Every structure is written in structure tokens, then in C-alpha cells.
Amino acid sequence: MMYEYALVIWYSEQDEAYLVEVPELPGCMADGATPEAAAQAAQTAIRLWIEGTRKMGRPVPQPARVRDAALKPLLATMA
């Protein structure tokens, strides 16, 4: 399953790896030798983050794009 959360990917010379952060999921990060590998590792990190959050009984935020898409019809009726 591919998650649609935004990913921020950058290269860390100190770590000699690409790091990826999922801003909508606090503390959710991963790394990889290439940007693609980092993004793929992020999918696993997202899945584990969601599983852990659900086990704790906490709400899981929807990806911003999903929230934005859900709001568009509501905002159109308010115009």
C-alpha cells in the first residue's frame, strides 16, 4: 500500500544518506542510499507509525491532499 503523505527528502553529508521526513506524522523519518530508496523506506516508516498510533488509541491524521479534496465540495457550497 502506498501512502499519500508529503515527504521531505534531503541529502545528509554527515550520514552519507538521503533522509526523509513525513511532516504530518511527528517523528516519522527514514533514510536510504538514493532518494527513491529513502522514499520507499518512508512507506514502511509510515505504516509502522500508523500501526503504533492506532495501538495507542490515538487518531491518525489524513494526508493533507485527502483533507483538501474532502473540503473542496464544502468550500464550494459556502462561496
Q: Return mean pLDDT, the chain.
A: 86
Amino acid at 29: M
Q: Do residues 49 and 29 make contact, with C-beta atoms less than 8 angstroms apart?
A: no
Contacts of 76 (CB under 8 A, 6+ apart): none
End-to-end CA distance of the chain: 36
Are 26 and 8 in contact by the 8 Å Cβ rule? The answer is no
Whether CATH 3.30.160.250 fits 8-78: yes
- Please state the pTM of the whole predicted model: 0.78
pLDDT in tens, 30-77: 999 999 999 999 999 999 999 999 999 999 998 986 555 444 544 444
The pLDDT of residue 64: 83
User: Edge to edge, what strands does the sheet with 17-21 contain?
Assistant: 8-12, 17-21, 29-32
Q: Does residue 9 carry a pLDDT above 80? A: yes
Band of pLDDT at residue 1, cut at 50, 70 and 90: confident
